[in-house]
């Protein structure tokens, strides 16, 4: 009876390992601490890169929009002058 139980447990364990292997599942408790630290550092670095990229994007966009808007303002002021009464 113990032999049958052992064989059944071994078979179940083998099925579980094969299933996890096919799915690529990893138990977080099984990951090595140095690997988890590496992932943490990578994620922190990536977040910093993304923060800097978004900051640069918005600063550049502000410069571009300011130039366009200043041009449009000048154009509208010039056009408005055409319609002012003579001598105004």
In a domain, residue 65? The reply is yes
Instruction: Report if pTM > 0.75.
Output: no
In a domain, residue 56? The reply is yes
Q: Which structural domain range is residue 20 located in?
A: 2-82
Euclidean distance between CA atoms 23 and 59, whole angstroms: 44
In a domain, residue 87? The reply is no
Q: What angle do CA 67, 68, 73 make, to 5 degrees?
A: 100
Q: What residues contact 26, with CB distance under 8 A and at least 6 apart?
A: 20
Domain count, the chain: 1
For the chain, 88 residues long, give each residue's pLDDT as a single digit of tens.
Answer: 587 888 888 888 888 888 777 777 666 666 788 888 999 999 999 999 999 999 999 999 999 999 999 999 999 999 999 999 987 7
In a domain, residue 16? The reply is yes
């Amino acid at each position: 009876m113990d032999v049958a139980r052992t064989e059944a447990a071994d078979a179940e364990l083998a099925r579980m390992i094969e299933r996890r292997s096919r799915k690529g599942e990893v138990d977080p408790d099984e990951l090595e601490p140095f690997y988890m630290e590496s992932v943490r550092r990578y994620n922190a670095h990536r977040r910093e890169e993304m923060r800097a990229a978004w900051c640069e994007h918005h600063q550049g966009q502000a410069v571009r929009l300011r130039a366009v808007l200043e041009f449009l303002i000048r154009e509208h002021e010039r056009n408005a002058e055409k319609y002012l009464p003579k001598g105004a």
